[in-house]
Amino acid sequence: MLIVNGPVEDAEHEEFGHPERPDRLIAALAGISDLDLGDDLTVLTPYAATRAELARVHQGAYLDELGAYCYAGGGNIDADTYATYDSWSIARYAAGAGIAVIDELRRVGTGVGFIAARPPGHHALADRAMGFCLLNNIAVAAASLTALGERVLIVDWDVHHGNGTQSIFWNDPNVLYVSAHQWPLFPGSGGSREIGGFDALGGIVNIPVPAGTTGDVMLRALDDVVAPAVAQFSPTWVLVSAGFDAHRGDPLADLALTSGDFAMMANRVAQFAPGPGRLALFLEGGYDLAALRASVAGTLGALLDCDYAPEEASSGGPGQEQVLRAANERLIAIHMAEDSRPEED
């Protein structure tokens, strides 16, 4: 069963010529349609996150200013990020979609959640919009779970490092944030030595990979670097920042993944979930519409065991060496941080 939330009609978050555009959501939903799920598809009523839910991860002053800015007509927040009159409302629905999906997953105890919402969220910081993102959708959802005492694994396979999510959970021992991303690339963070604060050392796992990286390298990263960290962390929920801009057809980056790679990665990540109904994927990037559609279908088709044939998986690209190096550098950084940990009073 697939539980979906996110799309909001009769509101606009769009800027002419901008790659983060409404057609992306149409493409993602078309990918779901391609699976012919029938009664196995549940689309929830849109839910807008409350201020209290947003304030778990965002500063109140930022929320006030973002809302006021949108209601004043919006505009460019920075060179990458825009807002419109409707953006505050749309962003709140995008941030609330994950909460609604998780509530439903908890109620039914089975299935996979997919948050088909925009704008994306993983670059949004506690006090700042950036990188097309206004509110950090996956962070809001993860914080709703940690508030219930859950331990949340966030796997971020968007081609860009999720600096906002990392920053928000930097020192939170109840969240393990894992990102495999192209480097160097925007936002310039996500080095393997970034491992979390003293209250959560090792709670950040960054695997920067070079341009041209193929699916076999990403799977190795999941198996050799991520899986041991996940086993140690023992999550009760798994959330995925499912950007699809690592696809070889995407115009914003240079990785070489296919929809078949996303399908295989999804199956690996699903194994990290402790049981059924504990996995939800959040749409992040992905700017080539055909690639986005195929990748959404490939990913969800694999998770739901659908009769859907994605593109062939890719292999033979660079990155194996960088994955090994990232694993070693991370371990060294953790040991060094442990040695320098301030003594408690």
CA 232/CA 179 separation, integer angstroms = 17
Positive/negative CA dihedral, 61, 63, 69, 75: positive
Stretch that binds other proteins, among 3-11, 31-39, 184-192, 229-237 (CB under 8 A): 184-192
Q: 87-108 and 137-146 are packed helices; what angle lies between their axes, rounded to 10 degrees?
A: 40
Size of the site for other proteins (CB under 8 A): 31
Q: What is the 3-state secondary structure (H, E, C) of 177-190?
A: EEEEEECCCCCCCC
Q: How far is the CB of 40 from other proteins (least distance, A)?
A: 35
251: contact with other proteins by CB under 8 A: yes
Query: Which residue among 13, 123, 161, 181 is the active-site one?
Result: 123
Q: Which is nearer to other proteins, 120 or 235 (CB)?
A: 120
CA 119 from centre of chain: 12
| CA quadruple 226, 227, 228, 230: dihedral, nearest 10 | 80
85: contact with other proteins by CB under 8 A: no
Distances (CA, A) of 189 to 123, 166, 219, 249, 333: 11, 10, 22, 24, 16
Nearest alpha carbon to residue 168 among 198, 202, 215, 204? 204
Q: How far is the CB of 344 from other proteins (least distance, A)?
A: 26
What is the bridge-based pairing of β-strands 112-115 and 82-84? unpaired
Stretch that binds other proteins, among 126-134, 204-212, 315-323, 333-341 (CB under 8 A): 126-134
77: contact with other proteins by CB under 8 A: yes
Read off φ and ψ for residue 133, nearest 5 degrees. Answer: -105, 135
Q: Which is nearer to other proteins, 28 or 70 (CB)?
A: 70
Stretch that binds other proteins, among 70-78, 97-105, 212-220, 297-305 (CB under 8 A): 70-78
Q: How far is the CB of 187 from other proteins (least distance, A)?
A: 5
Report DSSP state, residue 58: S
Indicate which single residue of 24, 92, 118, 128 sits in contact with other proteins (rule: CB under 8 A). 128
3-state secondary structure of 323: helix
Q: How far is the CB of 76 from other proteins (least distance, A)?
A: 4
Chain positions 5 to 34 lying near other proteins, rule: CB under 8 A, are: 17-19
Query: Is position 123 annotated as part of the catalytic site?
Result: yes
Indicate which single residue of 65, 199, 223, 338 sits in contact with other proteins (rule: CB under 8 A). 65
- Active site positions, annotated: 123
| Site of interaction with other proteins (CB under 8 A) | 17-19, 61-62, 65-66, 68-69, 75-81, 128-132, 160, 163, 184-189, 251-252
